[in-house]
Structure 1
Amino acid sequence: MPDIDWEGMFMFSASPLEIIIRGTVVYWFLFLVFRFVVRRDVGSVGIADVLVLVIVADAAQNAMAGQYKSISEGCILVSTIVFWNFLLDWLSYRYPKLGRLAQSGILCLVKDGKMLRKNMRKEMVTEEELMSKVRQQGLEDLSQVRDVYMEGDGTISVIKREP
């Protein structure tokens, strides 16, 4: 049977408070980056999005962990991140004004069948991406569309024109 260092697996090499502070600072930094910089998700996750998440996770790991070595330290760090995520969701639900700060608002991309190119540029939505979403709704062109919105979570909603 292999020699297992049971004590070393659960002993702290860093202060639990330090782990909580590191986790908190990195959580809020990443939250702000993803809230204000990486908003767009035109309905699916692309390979570049996955790559960014992996790189961010790897880069953030050392900042948060401070080279922790035990399971206990890892559990405290994960609990800190989950706590902030849960608290932000709860506060956003309880206080709608905070929810509007935590998530982007909706943005109209098409109004009465006409593309709003300024808004499309703002969110870097190409005409091809927009038309793909329109076709996914079974529509052939914008004359059949009343409005198209980019929702706060980055998804695109298409509202059909009434016949």
Structure 2
Amino acid sequence: MSALPDVFAREFPVWHMVARGTVVYWFLLLVFRFVLRRDIGAMSVADLLFVVLVADASSNAMQGEYRSVNDGLVLLTTLVAWNFALDWLSYRVPAIARFLEPQPEVLIRHGRINRKAMKREMITLDELEAKLREEGVDSIADVRIARLESDGKLSVKQRAEQPKSDGSKAPDTGPPGG
């Protein structure tokens, strides 16, 4: 049986754990941001990455894969610090926010599908139509604009109903003069 001081002794130097945590965090952040696609309605990339890394680091610290609790705590502190720092920097520096979070992508404008954007985001017509139905939209022709937001959610604005000369309403057919 090991003595209590062994539980809190560090197996690796602090700088080693900080470097490992930093390398893993940035590698996974870049992979999630630039390689994996956004899923409609999914949690943000940074949120998912943070949860996964904290779960793994916590597991290693609790199960004893690190020989001490301190090694796990140093790694967890590193992950928390990076997550906080990136949130703080994104709030204050727009260029960093643009780098870390993708810009909203227009998928439909005035009833016309942006096929290039759908291909880039790897979203099928069936997936898009299903999300439109969830928003209460029956037809793509009824959509003024639909954007895939940076968090993966679909925001939809429908065309406005405009009165006909006989007093009934007809769907808006697009922007004025166009």
TM range (shorter): 0.7 to 0.9
Asked if 1:137 is matched to 2:135, the reply is: yes
Mapping for residues 68-107 of structure 1, pairs under 5 Å: 68-107=66-105
- Give the aligned residue type for 1:29: F
Mapping for residues 2-81 of structure 1, pairs under 5 Å: 5-44=3-42, 68-81=66-79
- Whether the 8 Å contact between 2:42 and 2:152 is mirrored in structure 1 is no
* Higher RCO by CA contacts (8 Å cutoff, separation 6 or greater): 1
- Give the aligned residue type for 2:123: V
Where in structure 1 are there 5+ consecutive unaligned residues? Answer: 46-52
Larger Rg over CA atoms: 2
Deviation for aligned residue 1:44: 4.1
- Whether the 8 Å contact between 2:42 and 2:151 is mirrored in structure 1 is no
Q: Distance in 1 between matches of 2:82 and 2:37?
A: 19
Where in structure 2 are there 5+ consecutive unaligned residues? Answer: 44-48, 162-178
**When the two structures are superposed, what TM-score results if normalisation uses the length of structure 2?**
0.75
Q: Distance in 1 between matches of 2:93 and 2:67?
A: 38
Deviation for aligned residue 1:143: 1.8
Match of 2:158 in 1: 160
Deviation for aligned residue 1:124: 0.5
Q: Distance in 1 between matches of 2:36 and 2:30?
A: 9
- Whether the 8 Å contact between 1:39 and 1:153 is mirrored in structure 2 is no
Deviation for aligned residue 1:104: 0.6
Deviations 1:73-120 (A, max 9, x none): 101101101100110110010111211111111111111011111110
Q: Distance in 2 between matches of 1:156 and 1:139?
A: 12
Q: Distance in 1 between matches of 2:67 and 2:96?
A: 37
Q: Distance in 2 between matches of 1:4 and 1:161?
A: 70
- Give the aligned residue type for 2:141: S
- Whether the 8 Å contact between 1:107 and 1:149 is mirrored in structure 2 is yes
Q: Distance in 2 between matches of 1:135 and 1:28?
A: 37
Match of 2:175 in 1: none
Match of 2:113 among 87, 109, 115: 115
Percentage identity across paired residues of the two chains: 42
Q: Distance in 2 between matches of 1:115 and 1:161?
A: 15
Aligned length: 148
Deviation for aligned residue 1:4: 6.0
Q: Which runs of 4+ in 1 moved over 4 A?
A: none
3-12 vs 13-22, greater mean Cα deviation: 3-12
SS of match in other structure, 1:87 = helix
